[in-house]
């Protein structure tokens, strides 16, 4: 028997459909224009694959730097079952002034049918002097009312709006594609025809962040952090 999963995404022709009422997202600052439901068959999801803007292949790595921070994102040769789905583990290691301040393990799966990448949650360790002092932002689909969201659609359309996470009172990130032709300069090179994504959350009304993505590479810039290297993973940092 096929199992259908209902998740907060917006994809393909649904991007231009009339806004659907959000399902119990339970937050203010939502006018109903953010798509929050989509049916997907469990067997179409895979822990490995490649979206034009999001690569889920073990060993792929992105390295970012700003004046004081460094972020290393690595697709691990490791999976985790979340809400009954085998997901790929993507590790993020953030350092500030040379000290490790956060490690997160993020869980993603990609649709073999649509090439959309879905986000199933994260485990978080916030560090101080080498010790875990918090787990702020941690959530898993299927627990405490949380459900998984869309991190990158297989077909990207301008002004598409969708939830990336639905974890009430913890993580409610949502994204709007505001440009498909941005030019981004980074230490890793200059990239054209990039996606510009505006991220907001009803948990912090009025706050906005921007991320940029390039085809065949993935994330280029997150706030002040800019890409300095991409490709095969380098030796894991301590």
Closest CA to 141 of 159, 125, 164: 164
Confidence of residue 36 (pLDDT cuts 50, 70, 90): confident
What is the C-alpha to C-alpha distance for residues 177 and 204, in angstroms, rounded to an integer? 19
Residue 37 has what pLDDT? 75
What is the C-alpha to C-alpha distance for residues 189 and 127, in angstroms, rounded to an integer? 32
Sign of the torsion formed by the C-alpha atoms of 203, 208, 209 and 212: positive
pLDDT tens, position by position, 64-79: 999 999 999 999 999 9
Residue 150 has what pLDDT? 95
For residue 217, pLDDT over 80 is answered with yes
pLDDT tens, position by position, 107-142: 999 999 999 999 999 999 999 999 999 999 999 999
Do residues 164 and 175 make contact, with C-beta atoms less than 8 angstroms apart?
yes
Q: How does 39-56 read in b/e, with b if 16+ C-beta sit within 10 Å?
A: ebeeeebebbbebbbbbb
The per-residue pLDDT of the chain, averaged, comes to 87
Alpha carbon distances (Å) from 40 to 153, 163, 198, 235: 13, 16, 25, 36
What is the C-alpha to C-alpha distance for residues 77 and 88, in angstroms, rounded to an integer? 8
Q: Where are the beta strands (DSSP E) in 154-223?
A: 161-163, 165-166, 174-186, 189-200, 209-214, 218-222
Residue 40 has what pLDDT? 82
Alpha helices in the chain (DSSP H): none
Q: What percent of the chain has pLDDT over 70?
A: 85
Determine the average pLDDT of the residues in 211-234.
96
Residue 57 has what pLDDT? 98
Ordered by start, the domain boundaries in the chain are 4-232
CA angle 115, 214, 108 (to 5 degrees): 40
Q: What percent of the chain has pLDDT over 90?
A: 79
For residue 177 the two structure tokens come to 């594609």
Residue 30 has what pLDDT? 63
Closest CA to 110 of 147, 56, 52, 161: 56
Confidence of residue 31 (pLDDT cuts 50, 70, 90): low
Residue by residue, DSSP assigns 206-226 as T--EEEEEETTTEEEEETTEE
């Amino acid at each position: 028997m096929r199992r259908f999963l209902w998740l907060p995404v917006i994809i393909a022709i649904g991007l231009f459909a009339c806004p659907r009422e959000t399902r119990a997202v339970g937050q203010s600052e939502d006018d109903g224009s953010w798509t929050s439901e989509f049916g997907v068959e469990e067997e179409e999801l895979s822990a490995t694959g490649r979206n034009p803007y999001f690569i889920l292949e073990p060993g792929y790595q992105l390295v970012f730097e700003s004046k004081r921070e460094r972020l290393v994102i690595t697709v691990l040769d490791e999976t985790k079952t979340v809400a009954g789905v085998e997901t790929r583990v993507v590790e993020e290691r953030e350092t500030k002034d040379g000290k490790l301040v956060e490690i997160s393990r993020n869980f993603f799966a990609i649709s073999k049918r649509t090439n959309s990448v879905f986000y199933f949650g994260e485990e978080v360790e916030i560090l101080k002097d080498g010790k875990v002092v918090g787990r702020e932002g941690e959530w898993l689909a299927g627990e405490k009312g949380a459900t998984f969201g869309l991190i990158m659609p297989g077909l990207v359309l301008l002004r598409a709006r969708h939830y990336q996470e639905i974890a009430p009172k913890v993580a409610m990130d949502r994204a709007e594609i505001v440009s498909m032709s941005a030019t981004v300069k980074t230490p890793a090179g200059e990239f054209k025809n990039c996606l510009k994504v505006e991220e907001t959350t009803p948990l912090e009304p009025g706050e906005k962040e921007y991320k940029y993505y390039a085809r065949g590479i993935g994330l280029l810039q997150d706030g002040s952090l800019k890409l300095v290297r991409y490709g095969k993973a380098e030796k894991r940092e301590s």
